[in-house]
Structure 1
């Protein structure tokens, strides 16, 4: 718990500065609390940073700790709403703010036991209110604009955050939801580069100053600057155009870091919703890059540490040297969804009345080693239970059962449904653009052979089972020749056979390739289909890879090599996942960072019915020297 004073700087509304009491149980003896904290931190991977090796006569060096999360994406509990079970993945990560809270309390208890150490600070680098049914429910089903407290606000207030940066997904549900969420926070929501469309002034507080008490040495003033992602201008154009514009990460840091220093900051921390290494998923569609945290640290003097977000990576520590000042800057990124908690340690010394950073280090703690904090659970159990009920409730009906069990080797309604949803969303979004007249295709992979939507009542979980990943939707332009190359690459998934069979599925699918020595996974086999007109083809698996696609037509005519298409793809594929040809370098014409799974759920909710007759046609098949291949179900 911080006992620091707080000053919110810049234009825009920030939350009240008051904080709840009770971050640590003060009724428990110090030895018990700290012993427990030490065990918790050791299990989570904590390693004390080396003490600053100064001269014995140097004034006392103090260590300031800053804790950080990012890309929480609506996760409070360690729960997978779509599986209706505790969250788990191949690395056995745990998720959610309830587990983060336990780590935060342990860090605060440890610091409190350290002689004369200032209270630690707690910050976040954005993408908070979107990503789970819990977040969706309180944006769309029971919007917080109706008065309900957002579960992420409730959890973060209980944890006692000191500041958070805006993420790009904060804008997904519109400015009214975002402003209501902001008003519910007990700490400021920062965004120096979220600017008024006309005046260019910040529409959220750019930074906050926190005065942290140091025993016998007064206070350290910590400036926390928040920067969000310029890609919001593209991804949420419908919500921000003519209202909010977004300057570059580096450009606005150059403007605001000196202002934070001039306002009295002894230390400057940046919470940046921008990945470490220079890159942009939107190419040159904007004049400033999407990911620029390292570039900012290298080129903008006056920054001591950066909490990085957006890229969903685990980077315990990266040290870079600022090219202007020669000072080191420490950067850290704590993965996503509350899986990790970053710790930044800055060793400070007062020299001639001013604080100087002598050393800096960072690390991450693993949340899968701790129990959920009981107070966070208590506060939000009712919200959680309500959403569990919602996800398992009926949202529509299906006229006939759809299964993905045979999707890898035959054209199924299940995958046609995914492609229809993707292509339809892109087609509607491109209305009025130069690409509106182009035919739209879409790709989908058989992610989950166990997925099925039953005939009759359909729940959100049923729909979500068809799309088990959190991929977002993009669209690129490709030529007919590139489409054929893409399909040839995808067809490497099949083993080469002679004759029409019948063959067991494992004798046909999951072929070994140089890049997949264990066999090509189902998720790297893409099926392509058209929206308003059929894209039809055959895959002759008697032929060698690279020469398998035959009878390739669009709307019944042979596909022309120079014909232009818009192709709906997921972000994993467009970013190079699977190494498919052309798609990574193809011009991006749509990218609003909307989850494909949510688009499917929204469609069923809006229409009330899934009718395979409206989107399913048999447009591709397996052959062997022209004869149909038989793969028994």
Structure 2
């Protein structure tokens, strides 16, 4: 009770984000239960158990209002389950999308659009939207010509409070402006995407005027100000904190997109002095955000007087059998698909020796990456530049067999969920990049034979226990060879010799387009030049999926089409011999 006799009620808002097609705690590529170093669990089936527990706890208090459940986007892309029902058996044929089926079963109240919702085209997205029992919101997804929203901008939910007037909750949905770049081929001349701060300034007052006592923004945009696309757009990619600080009238923000865990962050609005609580649960259904808003009536109107955020961990509960029952047939169908033949390979490709010799396995990754970027750049100013690609030997155990090839075989070559970008680098920058990469090797004299551990995984100041394989990059040319030698007898920083493109020495000012994954381009591994290089391609397509698509489309993988020995290790100019033992 307050001094005026009014009682305080607590409204709980639960939230998920970046589910990326994860319904079950399952790794389709490894064909086993999902696990990672932190022993996280994933998927909507486990989220459902957490949601039910929260609802049951709150229902036990007969005076507490019903909790709400929201999502902040990136739902229908990211796993073979999502891919299957977009490309193999598209939901446009009438099948209920498994993510829609699960979210309907759990009982979501609203969701925001994510950028990956657009990856499979507008027909798939609109069908998914129609299959939902709740609104899919996107106030800043606007018609190209009229600038009017083409998805519902917000929804009002009346929450019953026993013995009191209901609380009217306004839920505003905002998506990521980067869609205009990442899915340009899908949205150009159809949709445009205003900045989340600018559109929140427009819509939050409208939501308030429509009768909202509480305004919650579900935003597919990270908290801290940044943009992976630099200044290619006039508005930032990640701006939730800025929105909370500069747009009055917001009580809470469910944050998405950044794939980070932020249980609770407070931002003070500069106009009102009120605090706004922000919460971002971890990706893939690993966490469920709980935002608690304490309300009391002020002059007869509900007002938020307290805020709190936390996250619940999906690895603490079992899967909800109701969700499992709804999705089991879809899940089984996708497991069969992932293990089925999608093509053939003319000869076996192994990554076992990829860290110290030019292999067909890594050349295949680079070929697919370079080919995708080159095709996308057709008709652009960069179309005439030579295309290179960068790959790292992620997984020495990876191999594609001769003969029948499955989705899982291809995926084993690329074990991370990285997306593809294209940047431009000069010849001198390319040389610096390769020198940095060559720190991976220990300095040795003579030509061996050496065991692999005598030469690879050298300790550095930033990797005192040894440079991991995934931080050693190999470069290759798409249509013409990029050739170089790494002289391990020389100290780090002066090892790259005979650097040439198509047989000609690379000039310092020569320009190249370089296909690279988002981890490296965003600064992972701290490579020189790559983070600040101009981005000329970024559609946020997963590299692993590009490789699967290549095999599915062509039907045949022929190493002779892309494998040439373009780089090698030498000692004082002479080839060295390395065996895998001891690696």
Tell me if both proteins adopt one fold, taking TM over 0.5 as the criterion.
Answer: yes
Could you tell me which residue of structure 2 aligns to residue 566 of structure 1?
513
Aligned counterpart for 1:293 among listed residues 229, 240, 245: 240
> Secondary structure at 1:218's aligned position in 2?
coil
Could you tell me which residue of structure 2 aligns to residue 153 of structure 1?
100
Could you tell me which residue of structure 2 aligns to residue 261 of structure 1?
208
Could you tell me which residue of structure 2 aligns to residue 401 of structure 1?
348
Q: By how many angstroms is 1:58 displaced?
A: 4.1
**Alpha-carbon distance in 1 for matches of 2:47, 2:5:** 36
Q: By how many angstroms is 1:115 displaced?
A: 3.8
Q: By how many angstroms is 1:274 displaced?
A: 0.2
Once the two structures are superposed, the pairs formed by residues 117-132 of structure 1 within 5 Å of their partners are 117-132=64-79
**Alpha-carbon distance in 1 for matches of 2:282, 2:496:** 40
Once the two structures are superposed, the pairs formed by residues 413-428 of structure 1 within 5 Å of their partners are 413-428=360-375
Could you tell me which residue of structure 1 aligns to residue 254 of structure 2?
307
> Secondary structure at 1:446's aligned position in 2?
coil
TM-score w.r.t. length of structure 2: 0.99
Once the two structures are overlaid, the 10-residue window that deviates more, 101-110 or 57-66, is 57-66
Q: By how many angstroms is 1:629 displaced?
A: 1.1
1:117-175 residue CA offsets vs partner (Å, 9 max, x unmatched): 00000000000000000000000000000000000000000000000000000000000
Q: By how many angstroms is 1:269 displaced?
A: 0.2
Aligned counterpart for 2:131 among listed residues 184, 205, 223: 184
Could you tell me which residue of structure 2 aligns to residue 485 of structure 1?
432
Aligned counterpart for 1:349 among listed residues 296, 309, 316: 296
**Alpha-carbon distance in 1 for matches of 2:348, 2:167:** 64
Q: By how many angstroms is 1:56 displaced?
A: 5.4
Could you tell me which residue of structure 1 aligns to residue 488 of structure 2?
541
Q: By how many angstroms is 1:215 displaced?
A: 1.0
**Alpha-carbon distance in 1 for matches of 2:451, 2:165:** 75
Could you tell me which residue of structure 1 aligns to residue 386 of structure 2?
439
> Secondary structure at 2:425's aligned position in 1?
strand
> Do 2:2 and 2:8's aligned partners in 1 also have CA atoms closer than 8 Å?
no
**Alpha-carbon distance in 1 for matches of 2:281, 2:207:** 25
Q: By how many angstroms is 1:108 displaced?
A: 0.1
> Do 2:9 and 2:294's aligned partners in 1 also have CA atoms closer than 8 Å?
yes
**Alpha-carbon distance in 1 for matches of 2:4, 2:480:** 80
1:438-458 residue CA offsets vs partner (Å, 9 max, x unmatched): 000000000000000000000
1:261-287 residue CA offsets vs partner (Å, 9 max, x unmatched): 000000000000000000000011111
The number of equivalent residue pairs is 580
**Alpha-carbon distance in 1 for matches of 2:531, 2:354:** 25
Once the two structures are superposed, the pairs formed by residues 68-217 of structure 1 within 5 Å of their partners are 68-217=15-164
Aligned counterpart for 2:555 among listed residues 600, 603, 608: 608
> Secondary structure at 2:105's aligned position in 1?
helix
> Secondary structure at 1:488's aligned position in 2?
helix
1:560-583 residue CA offsets vs partner (Å, 9 max, x unmatched): 000000000000000000000000
**Alpha-carbon distance in 2 for matches of 1:149, 1:63:** 35
Q: By how many angstroms is 1:623 displaced?
A: 0.6
TM-score w.r.t. length of structure 1: 0.91
Could you tell me which residue of structure 2 aligns to residue 579 of structure 1?
526
Q: By how many angstroms is 1:63 displaced?
A: 0.2
1:325-353 residue CA offsets vs partner (Å, 9 max, x unmatched): 10000001001000000000000001111
User: Aligned pair 1:389/2:323, yes or no?
Assistant: no
> Secondary structure at 2:342's aligned position in 1?
strand
Q: By how many angstroms is 1:314 displaced?
A: 0.4
Could you tell me which residue of structure 1 aligns to residue 6 of structure 2?
59
| Structural RMSD (CA) | 0.7
In structure 2, the CA distance between the partners of 1:58 and 1:500, relative to structure 1 (3 Å rule), is: farther
**Alpha-carbon distance in 1 for matches of 2:288, 2:559:** 45
Q: By how many angstroms is 1:218 displaced?
A: 1.4
Unmatched runs of 5 consecutive residues or more in structure 2: none
1:207-264 residue CA offsets vs partner (Å, 9 max, x unmatched): 0000000111110000000000000000000000111110001000000000000000
Once the two structures are superposed, the pairs formed by residues 499-538 of structure 1 within 5 Å of their partners are 499-538=446-485
**Alpha-carbon distance in 2 for matches of 1:364, 1:628:** 55
1:513-568 residue CA offsets vs partner (Å, 9 max, x unmatched): 00001110000000000001100000001110000000110100111000000000
Aligned counterpart for 2:197 among listed residues 235, 250, 263: 250
**Alpha-carbon distance in 2 for matches of 1:70, 1:594:** 19
> Secondary structure at 1:74's aligned position in 2?
coil
**Alpha-carbon distance in 2 for matches of 1:293, 1:545:** 42
